[in-house]
């Protein structure tokens, strides 16, 4: 856990991460409900993969409130979530936990605090495929992924690849859409667009948890 | 009854039998399925976690193209279904996001007003045509076959769209009406691991083991799914799972459209049943007329 020297005052790095996270929370409809968490643990109990996490979903919220986002971003938790939304639908306070974990992933990638090379490599390969062809070319996606993470896995996966090929279920060639140029323009324009930050909502959440984002 | 069909990337390659059987079932039931011309990837879960505004913009291109046609969109892949629905809801609830996304779309001369309904084929068949009507048109009974209906996550969560989120019944009722026996399967909405099979395979293997062990332990002849990725995880790794957990974890995994197609008298080739990775047992094959 990042050291907090003066009670009530967050270290500069923590305030920066906090701000980046709250900006991301702001994109999620209902994201501000984060502050209504009663720490009941229903999320953790409903999560099929919490056993493999180092921080449980409940603990993620507790650490955020305690002013320790850095340890969340470094945890395995945000990369283990499989997006099954079991926590989200069972949360008695209607907190969008899965979406909050997405927000944390985005901050972690943006701030280059990536613990999981593998998820990053997968996203990267996926984004490239969509930009290039307009569709996901599964074969190239997985080949690139294994090459970048653990090339030995290519050998491990080869028999499955051959079975897929025999079953005529492996796309040897990419499917390209005609509107590739259009899609590229849309993505480029969207990348340029910054959504205005709603400072009011950010401050509301910050105040609720008892910390002000002051730079010491 | 006419619909705009959004197949999605998986269905065009690795889940081809789901595509074949969906088209065949809709045709056999006299429901028009018209593929959306020049659709692009929905963005899936991966894009959603990287750049949110961009992911909504690429989803919205599909919605904008579909909007011009004025029909409901049918998306058989659970991830496409979720992502397109989520984009719809976020764009509806966040006017400023909608403005930005439309700004991005305008770079390609498109605009999205937000009027498209995105639906899953299971829901379309059961609600627009009805279990009674489907049963009437079936030429074959599924008597004697025991199934574990597996709904997975993303067609019932996070939104409550057409069924209960803890104990969905749409498929159970459909196949029971067609003569099948539903085994006790409390894992019907438990996660299969999704993309974790690629990024963290040990975790996903455990989840798939839980599902198959439960279905087999309760006497199912097959698992029925509604999603390309659930199918891949449950069907493609059965050898590895059996070795890893020291028990026989082989079981046929059918897409619901394949089983429904069997009841409608469609043949093995039309349904793509000969393109499976896991062994399809004689019991299923003989039901399918082989």
ipTM of the complex: 0.91
Instruction: Find the length of chain B.
Output: 290
B103 CB within 8 Å of a chain A CB: yes
Min distance A5 CA to chain B CA atoms (Å): 33
A12-115+197-208: CATH number: 1.10.1060
Whole-prediction pTM = 0.90
What ranges do the domains of chain A cover? 12-115+197-208, 117-192
**Do the Cβ atoms of A72 and A132 come closer than 8 Å?**
no
Q: What is the mean pLDDT of chain A?
A: 82
Here the tokens at position B4 are 């705009």
Nearest to A138 by CA among B229, B152, B81: B229
How many Cβ atoms are within 10 Å of A115's Cβ, its own excluded?
16
At residue A114, the pLDDT reads 67
**Surface of B (80-99) touching A: CB under 8 A:** 89-90, 93-94, 96-97
Q: Which of A1-10, A152-161, B162-171, B179-188 has the lowest mean pLDDT?
A: A1-10
Strand partners, A212: A9
Q: Which of B8, B12, B45 is nearest to B121 (CA)?
A: B8
Instruction: Compute the half-sphere exposure of residue A196: CA atoms within 13 Å on the CB side of its CA.
Output: 7
DSSP per-residue codes, B19-49: HHHHHHHHHHTT-EEEEPTT-----HHHHHH
To the nearest whole angstrom, how far is the Cα of A112 from the nearest Cα of chain B? Answer: 12
Contact between chains at B153 and A195 (C-beta distance less than 8 A):
no
A79-111: pLDDT as tens digits: 899 999 999 999 999 999 998 998 888 888 778
- How would you list the strands of the sheet with B32-35, edge to edge? B32-35, B2-5, B73-74, B118-119
Q: Confidence band (pLDDT; 50, 70, 90) for A179?
A: very high
d(CA A59, CA B124): 40
- Fold for the domain defined by B130-287: Rossmann fold (3.40.50)
Q: Which residue of A has its CA nearest to B39?
A: A177
- Decide if B158 and A135 are in contact by the 8 Å CB cutoff: no
- The CATH code of domain B2-119 reads 1.20.1050.140
More confident of the two residues A12 and B61: B61
Residues of chain B with C-beta less than 8 angstroms from the C-beta of A188: 107
Domain regions of chain B by residue span = 2-119, 130-287
Residue range A146-172: mean pLDDT, rounded: 89
* pLDDT tens-place values along chain B, 290 residues long: 999 999 999 988 899 999 999 999 999 999 999 999 999 999 876 565 566 778 899 999 999 999 999 999 999 999 999 999 989 998 998 898 899 999 999 999 999 999 999 999 999 999 999 999 999 999 999 999 999 999 999 999 998 889 999 999 999 999 999 999 999 999 999 999 998 998 889 999 999 999 999 999 999 999 999 999 999 999 999 999 999 999 999 999 999 999 999 999 999 999 999 999 998 998 998 888 86
| B254/B2 Cα distance (integer angstroms) | 25
Q: How confident is the model at residue A116 (pLDDT cuts 50, 70, 90)?
A: low
Indicate if the pLDDT at residue A22 is higher than 60: yes
Which stretches within B14-120 are classed as H helix?
16-28, 44-50, 52-67, 78-93, 95-106
**Optimal mutation site among A50, A169, A181, A196, interface B, most CBs of chain B within 10 A:** A169
């Amino acid at each position: 856990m990042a050291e907090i020297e003066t009670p009530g005052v967050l270290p500069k790095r923590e305030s920066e991460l906090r701000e980046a996270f709250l900006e991301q929370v702001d994109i999620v409809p209902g994201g501000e409900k984060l502050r209504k968490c009663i720490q009941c643990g229903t999320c953790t109990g409903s999560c099929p993969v919490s056993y493999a996490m180092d921080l449980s979903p409940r603990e993620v919220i507790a650490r955020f409130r305690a002013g320790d986002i850095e340890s969340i971003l470094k945890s395995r938790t945000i990369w283990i979530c499989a997006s099954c939304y079991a926590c989200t639908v069972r949360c008695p306070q209607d907190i969008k936990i899965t979406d909050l974990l997405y927000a944390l992933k985005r901050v972690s990638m943006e701030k280059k605090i990536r613990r999981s090379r593998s998820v990053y490599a997968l996203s990267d390969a996926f984004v490239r495929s969509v930009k290039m062809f307009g569709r996901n070319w599964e074969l190239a996606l997985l080949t690139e992924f294994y090459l970048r993470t653990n090339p030995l896995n290519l050998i491990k996966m080869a028999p499955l690849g051959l079975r897929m090929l025999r079953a005529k279920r492996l796309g040897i060639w990419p499917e390209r859409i005609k509107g590739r140029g259009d899609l590229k323009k849309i993505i480029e324009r969207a990348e340029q667009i910054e959504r205005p930050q709603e400072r009011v909502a950010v401050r509301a959440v910050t105040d609720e948890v008892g910390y002000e984002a002051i730079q010491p | 009854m006419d619909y705009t069909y959004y197949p999605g990337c998986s269905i065009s390659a690795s889940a081809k039998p789901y595509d074949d059987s969906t088209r065949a079932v809709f045709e056999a039931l006299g429901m028009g399925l018209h593929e959306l011309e020049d659709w692009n990837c929905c963005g899936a879960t991966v894009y959603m976690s990287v750049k949110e505004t961009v992911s909504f913009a690429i989803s919205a291109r599909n919605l904008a193209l579909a909007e011009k046609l004025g029909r409901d969109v049918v998306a058989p892949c659970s991830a496409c279904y979720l992502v397109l629905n989520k984009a719809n809801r976020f764009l509806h609830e966040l006017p400023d996001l909608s403005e930005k996304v439309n700004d991005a779309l305008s770079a390609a001369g498109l605009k999205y007003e937000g009027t498209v309904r995105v639906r899953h084929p299971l829901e379309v068949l059961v609600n627009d045509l009805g279990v009674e009507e489907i049963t009437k048109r079936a030429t074959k009974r599924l008597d004697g076959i025991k199934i574990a209906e597996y709904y997975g996550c993303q067609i019932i969560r996070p939104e409550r769209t057409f069924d209960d989120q803890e104990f969905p019944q749409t498929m159970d009722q459909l196949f029971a009406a067609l003569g099948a026996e539903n085994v006790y399967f409390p894992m019907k909405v438990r996660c299969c691991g999704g993309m974790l099979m690629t990024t963290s395979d040990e975790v996903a293997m455990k989840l798939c083991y839980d599902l198959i062990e439960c279905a087999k332990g309760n006497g199912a002849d097959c698992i029925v799914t509604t999603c390309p990725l659930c199918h891949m995880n449950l069907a493609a790794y059965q050898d590895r799972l059996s070795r890893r957990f020291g028990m026989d974890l082989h079981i046929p995994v059918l897409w619901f459209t394949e089983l429904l197609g069997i009841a409608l008298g469609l043949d093995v080739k039309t349904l793509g049943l000969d393109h499976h990775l896991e062994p399809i047992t004689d019991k299923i094959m003989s039901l399918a007329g082989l």
